[in-house]
Chains A and B, each alone.
Chain A
Amino acid sequence: MGIRIDALKCTACMACEMACGYHRDDGFAFLSSCIVPYRAKEKTDYFGVLLKEEETLVVARPEGLEINKIGEEQDPEKEADASAKPMLLREACDLCEDVEDHGPLCIQFCPVEAITLEEE
């Protein structure tokens, strides 16, 4: 099972980031989220979503998914955003395994169904 993100549906609302932050910190914070819409390229309107998994950093770009093995050298030209680096220090997605009743909170809180749960 894994999280799949359709970056073209995403509206960069940050609900997933806050939902994940709540899952980590039991309060409202952005500090520890392992799913983050990257939104630093505001003037070019280029945005998508970053997801840190156990061994990979998924960059859901509007033009398609990019899956980077953590630890391997990245092409600096293709670095999604300044947000990617701090993500590497955060805990990986655990699919909200200890959240009863709901399952992955980012999926629940995404207002536009841009995130889904899929069999690997």
Chain B
Amino acid sequence: MDYLSADKILIVDLAASETTEDELDEDLVSEKIGGAGMTKHLYEQHEDEDPIVIGTGLLTGTLYPATAAGVITAKSPVSGTLCHCPITLKLGVEIKYSGFDYIVLKGVSDKPIYLWVHDGVADIQDAADVWGKDVWETTDAWRKIVGDDLLQTLVIGKSGESGSDYAQVCFNHWSSGDRWGFGKAFGGKNIKGAAFRGMGLLEAAKPEEFVERSLEILKAIKPNDFMGKRGVGDICAALGHEDVTDWLAPIVHRHSACYNTPYPTNTFAYLDDDPKLVTETKVKEPGILITDIFGLIGFKNLGLSAADSCRALKACAKYGIDPTAVAELSPGKSLEDVENAFARLSGSPPIAGKGVFSPWCPTKPLFGDFGLSGGDETANWWERHQALASIFGIHPIFAVMCPQLTEENMLELANIGTDLELDKDTLDEVIDGLCG
């Protein structure tokens, strides 16, 4: 596959401690398109060895708006069903530029390892030094080894190592959309995580046309009212939690966006320094990047203050546990109770949707109604939008707020970028295969 691709699939045989590489076949892209379409196919190919498949979308890492996302596809060790977790922040794009479109982790390693992927090379590394360390310590340790603070990581904490059903794979230092216990799946394979860095180049078949159309679409996005809004507070307000914005405001430092995503979906809260500070703080770990809307709302609903809710989010991110599950299942309502509950949670938090795409992304349109009437129509629209986002590599939250990112223009850009002739029938088939 010459275009919009690193043209490589990495197969990691954990039991044998060996890696092999396949080319990404153009015919396969014509059939499965990319992202979750492809990760599901690779999962089925290696199903006997209970694989975890990591991948990026066909448009990930380009100038089409919001092309931040990658995807992790695996069987949830909790529900037993095949499901997908979006990869956001700058990690999805780093995976693609590190030189592999897809990575299959199959079998079980006999000792703790991590995967180090850089510029088209993949190494299995010993993780004995970081086994037992939390998510933050591990990311910091890997960055120190390589001497590069831009290293992007997928990493589990103590929760995943101990096999908790609520264990999350985290991104760098932050909580993710893993509501499936993939952290437990990583831990069960003795994989502490993976680190990515790369400076690849993706060619487009018709680069000028691709950039021209991407720009037209971005220009059409800019007049939306939501472009004047920012961060998790405004998303909470759009979900009917209007009071979150004012409740959180006193500790908000800044808002930031995932790669090329016009709306900043992440909000940094300062807990141990002045949130108004614009110079660099001297405090090493002053706060937390809020990446989980429902985790935040959940802690607020327990009655925690904004600062304590963010402290709970920080503790969850370090431990590598799903904050939404913790907020839902915590037996006590104080910050101390919440933190003490990590190793003792039980029960199943409710999961919205069909259990295939992560309800970490709000399950209804944001900042508008997309002409939907609610009920099944909205539920089906959401599943389809999550499928689309996961195939093309679009930020899943931006996909439910932005009417200008359409199936038609995603397909159009995919065809301009690759010179393939992907059509709606193929897309429908891939989406049906994902949504069931």
Do B200 and A29 touch (CB < 8 A)?
yes
- Would you call B176 an interface residue if the criterion is a C-beta within 8 Å of the partner chain's C-beta atoms? no
What per-residue 1/0 map shows which CB atoms of A81-97 lie under 8 Å from chain B? 01100000000000000
Do A40 and B280 touch (CB < 8 A)?
no
What separation, in Å, do the CA atoms of A42 and B281 have in the docked complex? 12
Do B202 and A27 touch (CB < 8 A)?
yes
What per-residue 1/0 map shows which CB atoms of B54-75 lie under 8 Å from chain A? 0000000111010000000000
- Would you call B8 an interface residue if the criterion is a C-beta within 8 Å of the partner chain's C-beta atoms? no
**Known contacts A13-B259, A27-B203, then 15 further A-B pairs from the complex at CB < 8 Å, ordered by chain A residue:** A13-B261, A13-B262, A14-B90, A14-B93, A15-B63, A28-B62, A41-B149, A44-B284, A45-B254, A45-B268, A45-B289, A82-B149, A111-B65, A111-B257, A112-B227
What separation, in Å, do the CA atoms of A44 and B173 have in the docked complex? 12
What separation, in Å, do the CA atoms of A8 and B256 have in the docked complex? 11
What separation, in Å, do the CA atoms of A53 and B268 have in the docked complex? 31
- Would you call A68 an interface residue if the criterion is a C-beta within 8 Å of the partner chain's C-beta atoms? no
Given A12-B257, A13-B261, A109-B215, decide whether A43 and B280 contact each other with a Cβ distance below 8 A. Answer: no
Nearest B residue to A80 via CB reads B280
- Would you call B20 an interface residue if the criterion is a C-beta within 8 Å of the partner chain's C-beta atoms? no
Do B150 and A39 touch (CB < 8 A)?
yes
Q: Which residues of A contact B4 (CB under 8 A)?
A: 28
What per-residue 1/0 map shows which CB atoms of A26-48 lie under 8 Å from chain B? 11111100000001111111110
- Would you call B239 an interface residue if the criterion is a C-beta within 8 Å of the partner chain's C-beta atoms? no
What separation, in Å, do the CA atoms of A26 and B263 have in the docked complex? 26
CB distance from A7 to the nearest CB of B (A): 9
Do A41 and B280 touch (CB < 8 A)?
yes
Q: Which residues of A contact B93 (CB under 8 A)?
A: 14
What separation, in Å, do the CA atoms of A11 and B218 have in the docked complex? 16
Nearest B residue to A81 via CB reads B149
Do A31 and B199 touch (CB < 8 A)?
yes
- Would you call B326 an interface residue if the criterion is a C-beta within 8 Å of the partner chain's C-beta atoms? no
What separation, in Å, do the CA atoms of A102 and B199 have in the docked complex? 26
B-binding residues in A (CB < 8 A)? 8, 11-15, 18-19, 22, 25-31, 39-47, 61-63, 82-83, 102, 105, 108-109, 111-112
Do B218 and A45 touch (CB < 8 A)?
no
Give the A-B contact count at a CB cut-off of 8 A.
115
What separation, in Å, do the CA atoms of A31 and B198 have in the docked complex? 10
The 25 sampled A-B contact pairs (Cβ below 8 Å) are: A8-B278, A12-B257, A13-B257, A14-B259, A15-B260, A18-B63, A22-B63, A22-B207, A28-B204, A29-B97, A39-B150, A41-B149, A41-B280, A42-B149, A42-B172, A44-B283, A44-B286, A45-B253, A45-B287, A63-B278, A83-B150, A105-B211, A108-B215, A108-B218, A112-B262
Bin the interface of chain B by size: 35 or more
Q: Which residues of B contact A109 (CB under 8 A)?
A: 63, 215, 218, 260
Nearest A residue to B173 via CB reads A43
Do B63 and A42 touch (CB < 8 A)?
no
- Would you call B421 an interface residue if the criterion is a C-beta within 8 Å of the partner chain's C-beta atoms? no
Do B150 and A12 touch (CB < 8 A)?
no
What separation, in Å, do the CA atoms of A109 and B18 have in the docked complex? 42
Choose from B204, B259, B286 the contact partner of A45 (Cβ within 8 Å): B286
Q: Which residues of B contact A41 (CB under 8 A)?
A: 149, 280
Within 8 A of A (CB), among B203-219: 203-204, 207, 211, 215, 218
Q: Which residues of B contact A82 (CB under 8 A)?
A: 148-150
**Most chain A Cβ neighbours within 10 Å, of B63, B268, B283:** B63
What separation, in Å, do the CA atoms of A43 and B280 have in the docked complex? 11
Given A22-B63, A28-B201, decide whether A46 and B150 contact each other with a Cβ distance below 8 A. Answer: no
Q: Which residues of B contact A30 (CB under 8 A)?
A: 97, 199
- Would you call B258 an interface residue if the criterion is a C-beta within 8 Å of the partner chain's C-beta atoms? yes
Choose from A13, A47, A105 the contact partner of B258 (Cβ within 8 Å): A13
Do A46 and B280 touch (CB < 8 A)?
yes
Do A26 and B207 touch (CB < 8 A)?
yes
Q: Which residues of A contact B362 (CB under 8 A)?
A: none
**Most chain B Cβ neighbours within 10 Å, of A11, A14, A29:** A11
- Would you call B46 an interface residue if the criterion is a C-beta within 8 Å of the partner chain's C-beta atoms? no
Q: Which residues of B contact A45 (CB under 8 A)?
A: 253-254, 256, 268, 270, 286-287, 289
Nearest B residue to A23 via CB reads B211
Q: Which residues of B contact A18 (CB under 8 A)?
A: 61-63, 260
Q: Which residues of B contact A27 (CB under 8 A)?
A: 201-204, 207
Q: Which residues of B contact A42 (CB under 8 A)?
A: 149, 172-173, 289
- Would you call B423 an interface residue if the criterion is a C-beta within 8 Å of the partner chain's C-beta atoms? no
Nearest B residue to A83 via CB reads B150
